[in-house]
Structure 1
């Protein structure tokens, strides 16, 4: 009986020690991807140069998954800005082998649409750089 109590106290004290001496594990929080979104949209008036995609060399599976989620969100946001004929043109350009940036440059966007797309692309590029550690 005494050995069971001793074992339990040892395990309990070990767990307590781990929580007290390694607070980063217990206080871990998810990364905030949208922390500076207000500042990014304020800079959207500047023309955005569409960058090539970030190389995924030496990325962890989690980083690759995060990049995929960022790209999917970018595509949804851009589709929300475009009208139906522009969406069809974009889809046709993508099917013909153009990447998203090349396809966007060929669309005839109104100035407000261009500003929104530039802001979306700029914000996405910053998030992708943050994730990939560039």
Structure 2
């Protein structure tokens, strides 16, 4: 009986420690490796909705596939936040030629939905920056 209590306390203390340390990890600032590459990444990320800007970069097929997967996941997560009428309106906006940001702005999202969509987009941008920064590091090393 004492062994089970010890195991449970150990597991709970590890979970508590993990939760406490995760806040510090999430707030940790990334290391600046090369300021020029970070500017290029920022410019590239800002234009991610424009497919021509990414096609100008010589990404490997694997990197292109990763970026496409990230965008598809973003779209699924955003659609999960929207109700059926908002999803239909978003589809109409996208078919009308709007990019994802413009299409989302035209929706009348509730504040909670807007916060979730913003968080999804920020997380997506971070993932894309990671892929593009790895690409730029390889290019700079050559």
The bucket for the TM-score relative to the shorter chain is: 0.5 to 0.7
Question: C-alpha displacement at 1:58, in angstroms?
Answer: 1.6
TM-score by length of 2: 0.58
Q: 1:39 aligned to 2:26?
A: yes
- Equivalent pairs counted in the alignment come to 90
SS at 2:48's partner residue?
Answer: coil
Q: Which residue among 52, 58, 68 is the counterpart of 2:47? A: 52
Which residue number in structure 2 is paired with residue 72 of structure 1? 72
Which residue number in structure 1 is paired with residue 13 of structure 2? none
Give the greater-gyration-radius structure (CA): 1
Greater RCO, 1 or 2 (C-alpha within 8 Å, sep 6+): 1
Structure 1 residue ranges without an equivalent (≥5):
1-35, 41-49
Deviations 1:65-101 (A, max 9, x none): 0000000000000000000000000000000100111
Runs of 4+ residues over 2 Å off in structure 1:
none
CA distance in 2, matches of 1:129, 1:119: 15
Question: C-alpha displacement at 1:52, in angstroms?
Answer: 2.9
Structure 2 residue ranges without an equivalent (≥5):
1-22, 28-44, 137-142
Which residue number in structure 1 is paired with residue 81 of structure 2? 81
**Quick check: which one's helix share is greater?**
2
Deviations 1:7-39 (A, max 9, x none): xxxxxxxxxxxxxxxxxxxxxxxxxxxxx9x83
TM-score by length of 1: 0.61
Deviations 1:41-74 (A, max 9, x none): xxxxxxxxx9431732121111000000000000
Q: 1:91 aligned to 2:91?
A: yes
